[in-house]
Structure 1
């Protein structure tokens, strides 16, 4: 009979336990074999514009849109997402292209030699997007760096009705005149003009129509950080009057997710960032004004957990629930718990951000002194809870030490709830990079 040494017995027992039941923290052989190779490649989100509505968009009429994309991770192969989620019927694109923005002419001009066709479903230039659906393009080979601006042009055939859009943006979108047809291959800007968003906020540039995302191919060790929230994530800088944007940040891409991407790049971390903020958005309820989008909880899976390569979500939302509908601390806590559970069910890390100061605003007083006790109570819970995978204390990073109910003056964008570029930089600096999860690979 074969004798088994004590050390051999221990190894046999540990091996059996590990194989059959799995020791905590010890990957099983199956777990190792299931991990993708770190040298392989997958898609990660490099740019995102969460669709909010189609209410105030200018209905296209046989014309071309040219849309800026500022990638938060560079690459050599990209694909694009177009949405007709809020449209009233099908929309047809007759043609689509992508090129690099001209480095000196800027605006709607494209650098020579960089224009590429965008195709669909294995090489088709034309695509029909049914009502309520989105489409992914074929991969496009185009080399670009992080923050190297691209221009995506789409020819909208006929008059399909209001366009699904990201309604409130800090960037210019250009369009050719109605009935002007296909200008997707124009290299110059002469056939395009920028249009202010009509209706609610006439000082805003036009929203971003149809285009909701760009993904890039990256090694499996690269992950996506999704920043999820409202205008403070979206990157709004407002003047003292409600609904009037400052021109300071237009086309400068200085929202806190942009500046977080700069930190990540400078630190040499293998991560991308996707901005899933919608201005005016609420966590618990659909917006009273449709341009502010469906509730954060109802869009959390689509706009956060479904982003390619997502490993971490930073959730900063709730101030509009307090300001618009007087949500209570307990109601917001219940909402945060739902988001945390949803993220963990998908194996995604989630960090909660504290709500930033609002006092001094001339918006409804719930945003200021009337809502302040609720904001403080919510932040106390966020800091104390252990359900999420960490906390980003945005409030502490940007509040005025002499009056914690207000922003520091140098961080105030002008209306008191929103931020200057320096304020958004301080927010990005508050994110603990060590809390951002990298994908597991072998």
Structure 2
């Protein structure tokens, strides 16, 4: 960090602390908010330390799964080694591509001021923003990093293009013609809405299948996107949000070792499912990378047996039930024909079949969602059906993700 950046950070810190102290003597709105119902409507877990950034403008897009009367944003500095300064944060309805509705945009505040300083490893939630939103509406969120980031905290596989524009602060302007596209989600990790009292959320907890690998960017063709659309078409489920907690390359039982990504699913389940506001159910679709890793590493410490993986699922079930959350188990899809660094082997196929049999027959999950049956080739059940294959024999294409969403029984998510 340069001298000017350190000076900027010091001045911002002074102003930020002065503002907090001043607000301590003003009437609090906590009592009002405690009587309202906030629900997460969009989510993207921070999973990786990204590139170091100079002072930069960043614009990102999110599509809400449900709407509300107010909105608030969460930003994370999970992997940062220095405080992260956010300034000139704006939210607006999207006008597509690199544009937003600058005439209707709202400035975002944090404890009453337009700057947030996030310590390393921490996150911050914005003040409530007076912006009425609708389900499936796309919003543009822009901000400026006056001191850059070292390193950035990102969701690595966004399947959504952000725009990055280094240099002076232009966050408020509508068109960023010189912005560089980047398929990474920076710092923004959650959006909440203030809505109907009966609003609730489903978390899709998984790996690259849930992250949407295999689709085109910016098309909203993940299975979670298609599920959100189906829920809106049904009057009994229009108040149900869908939160995507997928991390491409994630394992349930082990922390990441290349080529895998993120801390073990067992470790992140509490923060990314149990602590999300308004969650009533979770769909668990993870385990294929634990199976693949058995053939990728020589170290015995990386090996996961079928029995250990089943015990991992049982730990998730116990934790969800302790919070009164329904938990639905998804079978593991086929990946026969996959090559490269993680080829599908006969041993992996045998373990996949064993795990799927347990998911279907144990009755330990509250219900089973059979992604394997939906996607497999009936003539070669170890392979994806060709019309659903993105080409890598591991991930579905948009048609495959649509079939997955269509195969989920919406009665699982009705209010009880």
TM-score between both structures, scaled by the size of structure 1: 0.81
Query: 1:15-34 residue pairs with structure 2 within 5 A?
Result: none
Query: Residues of 2 paired with 1:41 and 1:82: CA distance?
Result: 22
Match of 1:259 in 2: 226
Query: Residues of 2 paired with 1:232 and 1:368: CA distance?
Result: 19
- Rate the CA distance shift 1:60–1:146 in 2: closer, same or farther, 3 A: same
Query: Residues of 2 paired with 1:290 and 1:345: CA distance?
Result: 33
Cα deviation digits, residues 165-216 of structure 1 (max 9, x gap): 1011211010112xx1322201112252213xxxxxxxxx2x1010001011
Match of 1:283 in 2: 252
Match of 1:167 in 2: 156
Match of 2:181 in 1: 194
Contact 2:93–2:100 under 8 Å retained in 1: yes
Deviation at 1:45, TM superposition (A): 1.2
Cα deviation digits, residues 325-381 of structure 1 (max 9, x gap): 352211110000000011011111100100000101113455343300000000000
Query: Residues of 2 paired with 1:432 and 1:175: CA distance?
Result: 40
Cα deviation digits, residues 122-142 of structure 1 (max 9, x gap): x11011101111111011122
Unaligned runs of 5+ in 1: 1-39, 196-204, 238-247
Query: 1:29-178 residue pairs with structure 2 within 5 A?
Result: 41-54=36-49, 57-102=50-95, 106-121=96-111, 123-177=112-166
Query: Residues of 1 paired with 2:199 and 2:342: CA distance?
Result: 43
Larger Rg computed on CA atoms: 1
Which of 143, 164, 184 is residue 171 of structure 2 equivalent to?
184
Give yes or no for the alignment of 1:232 onto 2:209: yes
Query: Residues of 2 paired with 1:407 and 1:373: CA distance?
Result: 16
Deviation at 1:265, TM superposition (A): 0.6
Query: Residues of 2 paired with 1:364 and 1:299: CA distance?
Result: 26
Match of 2:274 in 1: 305
Query: 1:212-251 residue pairs with structure 2 within 5 A?
Result: 212-237=189-214, 249-251=216-218
Give yes or no for the alignment of 1:274 onto 2:269: no
Match of 2:12 in 1: none
Cα deviation digits, residues 26-76 of structure 1 (max 9, x gap): xxxxxxxxxxxxxx741111111111011xx22121111101111111223
Query: Residues of 1 paired with 2:173 and 2:149: CA distance?
Result: 23
Query: Residues of 2 paired with 1:224 and 1:423: CA distance?
Result: 24
Query: Residues of 1 paired with 2:158 and 2:52: CA distance?
Result: 18
Give yes or no for the alignment of 1:359 onto 2:352: no
Deviation at 1:406, TM superposition (A): 0.6
Query: Residues of 1 paired with 2:90 and 2:259: CA distance?
Result: 30
Query: Residues of 2 paired with 1:365 and 1:208: CA distance?
Result: 25
Match of 1:319 in 2: 288
Match of 2:310 in 1: 333
Match of 1:410 in 2: 387
Contact 2:62–2:138 under 8 Å retained in 1: yes
- Moved runs in structure 1, 4+ residues, more than 6 A? none
Aligned residues between the structures:
372
Contact 1:72–1:261 under 8 Å retained in 2: yes
Match of 1:377 in 2: 354
Unaligned runs of 5+ in 2: 1-34, 295-302
Query: Residues of 2 paired with 1:45 and 1:264: CA distance?
Result: 16
Query: Residues of 2 paired with 1:296 and 1:392: CA distance?
Result: 19
Deviation at 1:112, TM superposition (A): 4.1
